[in-house]
């Protein structure tokens, strides 16, 4: 069910939600959090709502989507309430703010927050340089950005590393979960030798590749080279050097990885790129500070640059990689 409320107020919105609940139980009370989504445009808004609806099946929540209308218009709030099949296991409130109200998103959101429930703020694209200092970010215990969706992903990542605060996280980091799990599992197999160096190869503007390299540099305490490639998207390969031979995890096609190491047969691993829905579901499982993500950010300053290379390993500097959200 979708209910449009043009030129409304937050008070009228709350009354309508209560009315829906009393009339037919369309809005349940078992919400575990409030998810605030700061959207930039209509296409992004619907994609973000779809991801939130899927995530709500594991994390029932009230979803408040804030979109900005024309700044030159008269001040008003156009709202929409989505419940039932149009909202998954959530209730979705879409606010479009016009005129001076476009700069007052925090004031519009506060009256709609669930009492005594955690708050998560998510910027699908174009997040602030310092999420904890943003008006919507100050409301939240957890703040989710996505550097891969920024115009300059690497710059955005390094900027947010400087302004990191407990509760910050990035979907570019969440996309690494499977890569990190496979590498840790490989290190649990014999021979148990010290890693002496590492090389991480990936797309030039892939923040996930950058974070993977930073994580290895911080925790292995060894030199890590970040090599840029123009022939594949996202992360392409990781090589961990040790005395008996390297551990190599390679995924040139973006779908299937191959893990090779001395004394072990080569293993093919499902290593598909994770979509936004899966990453959002994972991030909503925790509200405490992510110390491992913070450590990966600290490791960014320890990286050594390698030459740009093709997937075959030949040096090249001829083509600037296109922006991509792949990981």
Report d(CA 324, CA 327) in Å as an integer.
Answer: 9
Kindly report whether the peptide bond that precedes residue 159 is cis, defined as omega within 30 degrees of 0: no
> Quick check: is 39 in a domain?
yes
pLDDT digits (tens, 9 = 90+) for 165-216: 999 999 999 999 999 999 999 998 888 899 999 999 999 999 999 999 999 9
- Shared domain for 20 and 140, answered yes or no, is yes
Give the domain extent around 215. Answer: 177-305
pLDDT digits (tens, 9 = 90+) for 119-176: 999 999 879 999 999 999 999 999 999 999 999 999 999 999 999 999 999 999 999 9
Angle (CA) 211 216 221, round 5°: 135
Task: State residue 22's pLDDT score.
Answer: 79
Q: Indicate the residue among 122, 144, 171 that finishes a domain.
A: 171
Tell if the pTM clears 0.85, that is, is over it.
Answer: yes
Task: State residue 63's pLDDT score.
Answer: 95
CB atoms within 10 A of CB 213: 27
DSSP helix, strand, coil percent of the chain (3-state; round to 5): 35, 25, 40
Report d(CA 91, CA 46) in Å as an integer.
Answer: 14
Q: How far is CA 125 from CA 25, 76, 172, 307, in A?
A: 34, 24, 12, 30
How many residues are present in the chain? 327
- Shared domain for 111 and 233, answered yes or no, is no
> Quick check: is 323 in a domain?
no
Q: Which residues contact 181 (CB under 8 A, 6 or more apart)?
A: none
> Quick check: is 325 in a domain?
no
Report, as ranges of residue numbers, the positions in the chain whose pLDDT lies below 70: 24-29, 86-87, 89, 305-326
Report helix angle 177-187 to 207-220, nearest 10.
30
Task: State residue 74's pLDDT score.
Answer: 92
- Shared domain for 122 and 30, answered yes or no, is yes
């Amino acid at each position: 069910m979708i209910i449009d409320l043009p030129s409304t107020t937050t008070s009228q919105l709350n009354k309508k939600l209560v009315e829906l609940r009393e009339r037919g139980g369309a809005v349940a009370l078992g919400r575990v959090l409030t998810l605030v989504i700061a959207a930039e445009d209509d296409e992004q808004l619907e994609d973000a709502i779809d991801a939130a609806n899927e995530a709500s099946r594991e994390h029932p929540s009230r979803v408040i989507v804030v979109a900005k209308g024309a700044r030159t218009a008269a001040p008003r709030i156009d709202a929409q309430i989505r419940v039932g099949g149009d909202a998954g296991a959530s209730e979705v409130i879409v606010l479009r703010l016009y005129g001076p109200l476009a700069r007052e998103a925090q004031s519009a959101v506060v009256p709609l927050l669930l009492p005594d429930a955690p708050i998560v703020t998510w910027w699908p694209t174009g997040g602030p340089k310092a999420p904890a200092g943003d008006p919507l970010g100050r409301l939240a215990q957890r703040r989710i950005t996505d550097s891969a969706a920024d115009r300059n992903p690497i710059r955005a990542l390094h900027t947010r590393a400087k302004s990191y605060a407990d509760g910050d996280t990035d979907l570019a980091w969440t996309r690494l979960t499977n890569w990190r799990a496979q590498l840790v599992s490989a290190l649990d197999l014999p021979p148990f030798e010290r890693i002496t160096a590492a090389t991480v190869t990936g797309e030039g503007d892939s923040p996930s590749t950058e974070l993977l390299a930073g994580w290895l540099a911080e925790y292995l305490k060894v030199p890590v080279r970040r090599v840029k490639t123009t022939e594949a998207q996202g992360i392409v390969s990781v090589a961990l050097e040790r005395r008996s031979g390297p551990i190599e995890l390679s995924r040139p096609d973006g779908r299937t990885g191959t893990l090779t190491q001395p004394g072990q047969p080569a293993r093919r691993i499902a290593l598909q790129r994770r979509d936004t829905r899966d990453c959002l579901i994972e991030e909503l499982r925790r509200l405490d500070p992510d110390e491992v993500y913070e450590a990966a950010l600290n490791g960014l300053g320890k990286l050594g640059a390698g030459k740009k290379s093709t997937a075959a390993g030949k040096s090249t500097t001829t083509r600037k990689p296109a922006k991509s959200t792949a990981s």
